[in-house]
Structure 1
């Protein structure tokens, strides 16, 4: 099958959508499909051979973050040329309402179109205002996928229609096979343990300030604890105001490679996700569970869903630093509970492996290419596949 995939966000800036598009494309290629990805990138940006650069991206505030998008006449021309040269059997557009390549491709394309919606933002005034502009493009879509129930709800509330829920995928084996690094482990330190955090340091919704606020309380109970922070941002600004003895227990690792991230998650005694909102899924939680790391996360709807209602990881009230600290101290002092969380996470994470997720996405591709009009919905029992004749033995 010839598959075209459109990524709306800058290829060289780490993000959940970019990782999803990359991993999906590479998995499909390994299965023998011909895949081309169109993404914002300068012509001199190093990209894999399956990626076609579509021009420089510019930063735009979006959904509590800063998205790097590309739009305009040059981008539109590149979209049209890519579509013409690709002659794709199916076009898979991610975030089709984003004012970037995705919307341009939706306007320009014909033939079977699958769209994946990642955003969870149920009160977006921008989306309400954009509805008359994007609705004609959305009407061209043959099948809609949402990465979570909360992304589906955002789609339904703002644009109508419905979507099947297929979660983000993870190469579970990649994280499970990673080797722990002794320098990132705290198992042998009295009253110790290592806490891991991965995310952009200066993006408030990633929640690092909540974790840093909790750290003095954690250290008062367990003075040997270390916090390992991986991600880009202003490190000095992040720790400003913290006592020197607390700063000494924080190690900033900067940007890390995929291999380093996997090793980090395999090494820590507890992974903490203190995000404050704007999350439609929680891919880092799946990666942590894949790496056999116990997870403690803020009680966002999306995180609760990923963690199986709290069965595969513990939850604390959003932005409650005191509750975070109490839970972290309790868990780090309870090896049996940590082992239970590791086991539960390892079992639960299998549903997110690319072998399962890509098979579901390919089923949608096959449906639209054989004439099905739309994905009409999803139910927890998987009945959407049966309604569309996609049930697997």
Structure 2
């Protein structure tokens, strides 16, 4: 058996790359030879150590429009994959760029099958990128999704059947940290005596950051000791600078001060990310669109109670008042009420932590790997998507 390649367009520690690396490790543990291929800085490697063999290909130079960057990445990855494919029989791609590149390599005559996991579909407006994304869903030999919601979307909007293979979570990824470390982190942002919500994913439209700011502003106006919000992440292939600048510029009008009520922590090391998960009081995750929302499971694994929007994908594994609070997505008034309830009710937070631990048991990477292996066996045997 030749190796399986898990292919991504970026080493950035966002959901897709976190998924890729954790899946690769679970596949390796199950006996599947696997190799991770990505684009980034070869000298820097991946965002955390791993026992899985990997190749980091040089990313194309930065600059130019989003369309320019996407097609430059596809071209660069196509060339590099073409030089590697004699080692692999399956290219399992994790994004639009990787899927287009892998399909080009296959169509040029390489003896490989292309599998694509659609984590979510981007809201591109440029015709070239809309067409590119549609082709990245149409061209692979087999398409996977991580939720029933996205299976329905691909069927109804793209005419493509997909197999659901849910995400997993490593419950030991973020081990407990010492009380001294917690105190140090909280003191570094002035959160010694303030309730601290953690946001994950940077300041982005899809993450509903403006909704979180509006909700926090409401609490700041009405509570004598309001909570604060620290946001981790922010590195993205897409340029959200305009949204970020506009959203942050609104903070004073909302009665909020950057650095006091809202703190931007940026992209963190693996150890520091885990420490912040363990040091906050609750996760605030008011996304407007998600493929799965891996940060929710990560928070649960760190015993952090969760506030998340009532997106259909979240309703597949979250239950209001059992393992999360789920205000109406996009509604800052509802989010403010949920944040205040989380803040005020210690017993609720204990109950949500218990519900979160119960949820984790259903989503292991070992189980996800077994389901992936069945798909790879089908693909290698030339079996298409099951009918229905």
Equivalent positions of 1:139-158 (< 5 A) are: 141=141, 143-158=142-157
| Per-residue CA distance 1:349-385 (angstroms, 9 max, x = gap) | 222221221122123223433x26134279xxxxxxx
Question: Which residue in 1 is equivalent to 2:331?
Answer: 320
- 1:269 positional shift: 1.5
Q: 2:281 aligns with which of 260, 269, 281?
A: 269
The answer as to 2:257 corresponding to 1:254 is no
Backbone CA RMSD of aligned residues? 3.5
Cα shift at 1:341: 0.8
Judge conservation of contact 2:305–2:349 (CA < 8 Å) in 1.
Answer: yes
Aligned to 1:79, the other structure's residue is in SS state: helix
Hey, what does 1:387 align to over in structure 2? none
User: Structure 1 regions of 5+ residues with no counterpart?
Assistant: 379-393
Is residue 376 from structure 1 mapped to residue 386 from structure 2 by the alignment?
A: yes
1:351 alignment partner in structure 2: 362
Q: What does residue 207 of structure 2 align with?
A: 206
Superposed counterparts of 1:116-265, under 5 Å? 116-120=117-121, 129=131, 137-138=139-140, 141=141, 143-175=142-174, 177=176, 181-184=182-185, 192-201=194-203, 203-219=204-220, 220-232=222-234, 238-243=247-252, 246-247=257-258, 248-265=260-277
1:272-329 residue CA offsets vs partner (Å, 9 max, x unmatched): 002223x211111111111111111122222222424774211112222121111111
CA distance in 2: counterparts of 1:37 and 1:55, whole angstroms: 14
Q: Secondary structure at the match of 2:174?
A: helix
Alpha carbons 1:281, 1:303 under 8 Å: kept? yes
Residues 192-218 of structure 1 show CA distances to partners (whole Å, capped at 9, x for unaligned) of 4211111122x2221222111221322
Distance in 1 separating the partners of 2:170 and 2:89: 26
Q: 1:136 offset after TM fit, Å?
A: 7.3
Q: State the partner residue of 2:238.
A: none
- Distance in 2 (alpha carbons) for counterparts of 1:131 and 1:183: 44
Structure 2 counterpart of 1:338? 349
1:331 Cα deviation from its structure 2 partner: 1.7
Q: Report the Cα distance in structure 1 between the residues aligned to 2:166 and 2:321, rounded to whole angstroms.
A: 17
Q: Matched residue of 2:308: which SS?
A: strand
* Partners of 1:223 and 1:83 in 2: CA distance: 59
- Equivalents in 1 of 2:137, 2:245: separation in Å? 45
Residue in 2 that maps onto 1:20: 19
Matched, 1:46 2:45: yes
How far 1:75 moved relative to its partner?
3.7
- Give the whole-Å Cα distance in 2 for the aligned partners of 1:328 and 1:270: 9
Distance of 1:82 and 1:372 partners within structure 2: 22
What is aligned with 2:298?
A: 287
Cα 1:197/1:106, change in 2 over 3 Å: farther
Matched residue SS, 2:206? helix
For residues 34 and 54 of structure 2, what CA distance do their matches in structure 1 show?
9
SS of 1:174's equivalent in the other structure is coil
Deviation at 1:348, TM superposition (A): 0.7
C-alpha spacing 1:69/1:51, structure 2 compared with 1 (3 Å): farther
Distance of 2:71 and 2:300 partners within structure 1: 29
Q: TM-score, normalised by structure 1?
A: 0.78
- Counterparts of 2:130 and 2:199 in 1: how far apart (Å)? 34
Within 2, Cα distance between the matches of 1:338 and 1:189?
19
Flag the 1:122–1:70 CA change in 2: closer, same or farther, 3 A: closer
Q: Which residues in structure 2 correspond to 1:6-17 (within 5 Å)?
A: 6-11=6-11, 13-17=12-16
Q: CA deviation at 1:340?
A: 0.9
* Structure-2 residue corresponding to 1:384: none
Matched, 1:361 2:372: yes
Distance 2:107 2:268 in 1: 37
Contact 1:298 1:316 in 2 (8 A): yes
